[in-house]
Every structure is written in structure tokens, then in C-alpha cells.
Structure 1
Amino acid sequence: MRIAEISPDGRLLELQHAAYAVEAKLIGDDRIPPLRENLADLQAKPLAWLGAFEEVWLAGAVAYTETPEAVDIDRLIVDPAAHRRGIGRALVEEVLARAGTRKITVATGRENVPARTLYENLGFQKVDDAEPVPGLWITEYSRPA
């Protein structure tokens, strides 16, 4: 697997929709904002992107924002055909390496047990549960500097 910086394009949008469709089923709610984005929306976001490639296949991606003090993982997406192969872990580990000693935050659907387990296994600690939209619950995590 090769991890490289990428720019949002049509295949990334397709991957994002496929990945968030799985999360929507896991959490029982399809009101996840990235599930509804179009390409213009995706490209307008001020996010840094890393893609995980197997040959030329984009198997997963992670998007984040950063400041001198902190890094926020905005989204982690893995092709459903590539689940349980370490792609999500490799992408998050790459962000951790790039973050250095900065604090890192991330949020995921409260009922998304695979994502929560991944973050917890990588040293993230639960901060809070939040309800950004009535009935849609997320769990917020932090990994201290």
C-alpha cells in the first residue's frame, strides 16, 4: 500500500459516498453530511487529503485540517471492499506521524463500533457524545499532544 497526498476528484467522491453509506447503516441514520456532498462541495472544503493506494486503486482516504497546535481528522473513508485490511489504521497512523506532538481530534458516529475501536486502539480518548442534529449522535475523541 502506498499513501500519498491527493486532491478531491470524482473517484474520491464515489469512495466517500460508498464508505458513508456503510456508516449510515451502522448508526441507523443517513443524515451524515459527507453522504450528501457533491463534487463541488467536496472540493470547496479546506481539507488536506491523503489517499491509500493499492496499485492505482484508491482503497481509502483521510482528510484533516491543521494548525500549529492541533490536527483535526475530518473524515476517514475506506472502500467497503477493503474493510478489515488495515487501510484505515495506516491512514490514521500517517496523520499521527505528520501531527508530531500536536493534539489530534476526531469524531465518528456513536454507534460506529469499528471506527470507535480503531481510534481507541490508537490511543484516542473519548471526550464527549454530541447530537449535532436531533437524533444523530457522534462521539468525539482526542489524542493528547
Structure 2
Amino acid sequence: MMGIKRLSLKSNEEVLQLLSLQLASYQIEAKLTGASQAQMLPDGIQSLRAAKESFLGFFKLTGGKKVICGAISYSRDGSVVTICRLMVHPEHFRQGIARSLLDYVLADQRAKRASRFVVSACAANLPAVQLYTSSGFVERRTITIKSNITLTTFERSADS
């Protein structure tokens, strides 16, 4: 059984599950990009709760227990939606979870009259870059944010 559901981040259990997922996912991204773990994971319980983002989780039923396998967060400013985070637990890579989460947000926000979507990814994170470009996002700019991290920003219109 699979499903996407909104995360409230009100319970410690839910926040800790998200942090654990983020840690596992970002460890892989750090290896792909050459970034340090500290550069990739600045969050804690309080910062996640204080984030001005909407969070969705992708859940599977495993051994009778609901397990979070992936998550996405986004913010909205007028009609522009920014994808802030997209993560999948390494045990669940290559199962279409990232694409399902991204497609869900794109469809949901188009229905709510979003006009444009924006997302940034480390240029060295080729799986993320491939996901966004295959989903209709176009590269807009690339900047170096630290000596070893290059960030690419992608955009797409809601009509794409």
C-alpha cells in the first residue's frame, strides 16, 4: 500500500521520521556532490517546524507499519511555487517515488492556479537534474554557493 499525505510536523515522531529520511537522503547527495554532511543538513526539530514550507510524505506499508520513504516540500509566493526539498530514502531509490511526489505537487498546484514552478539542485546531483529536466524544467542559472557546491536553478511554466 502506498500513498502521499500532508505532513503536519506537529508530533515529535513525524518530525524525527522526516529528519531521519532527510539525513539518509542527504548523505547520498553529499557523496554525489562532494559536499560535507554539515553543508547538506542544517536542519533540526525546531528549524523543520519553523519552516514556511508545506511538506508531503510518500508512505508505504511495510510489515504492518506505515513507513515514510520520501518527502517533498514547497512554498508559494503568489502564483509561483518553489520546490524546496525533495528526498527519497536510499532503500527506496529507483521506485518512482521522487517523480510521484513531484508530479503530485505540480498537478495539485496547477489546480490551484500556479503559473510557474522553480527548483534548485546541486549541479553534480545528476539524478535530481535528470528528474527535473525530464519533468519539463529548464535550466535558468547556475551559481557557485560554496567553493565546492554549484547550484542550478530550473523553472517551468504550469502549462508545460
Give the TM-score normalised by structure 1: 0.94
State the shift of 1:46 in Å.
Answer: 0.7
Tell me the C-alpha RMSD between the 2 structures: 1.4
Does the 8 A contact of 2:34 with 2:148 survive in 1? no
Q: 1:128 aligns with which of 141, 144, 152?
A: 141
1:111 matched to 2:124: yes
1:91 matched to 2:97: no
What per-residue deviation string (whole Å, max 9, x for no partner) do you get for residues 91-127 of structure 1? 0001101121420000011100001000111000011
| 2:150 aligned counterpart, secondary structure | strand
Which structure is larger by alpha-carbon Rg, 1 or 2?
A: 2
* Structure 1: gaps of 5 or more residues: none
More deviation, 4-13/131-140 = 131-140
Distance 2:127 2:54 in 1: 24
More deviation, 28-37/70-79 = 28-37
More deviation, 124-133/70-79 = 124-133
What per-residue deviation string (whole Å, max 9, x for no partner) do you get for residues 1-25 of structure 1? 2011012311101101111111000
Distance 2:21 2:92 in 1: 11
| 2:124 aligned counterpart, secondary structure | coil
What per-residue deviation string (whole Å, max 9, x for no partner) do you get for residues 33-61 of structure 1? 55131111111111100110112110000
Distance 1:105 1:24 in 2: 22
State the shift of 1:134 in Å.
Answer: 3.1
State the shift of 1:32 in Å.
Answer: 6.4
What per-residue deviation string (whole Å, max 9, x for no partner) do you get for residues 116-141 of structure 1? 00011100001111122333111110
Percent identical pairs in the alignment equals: 33
1:17 maps to: 23
| Structure 1 segment 64-79 matched on structure 2, within 5 A | 64-79=74-89
2:5 maps to: 4
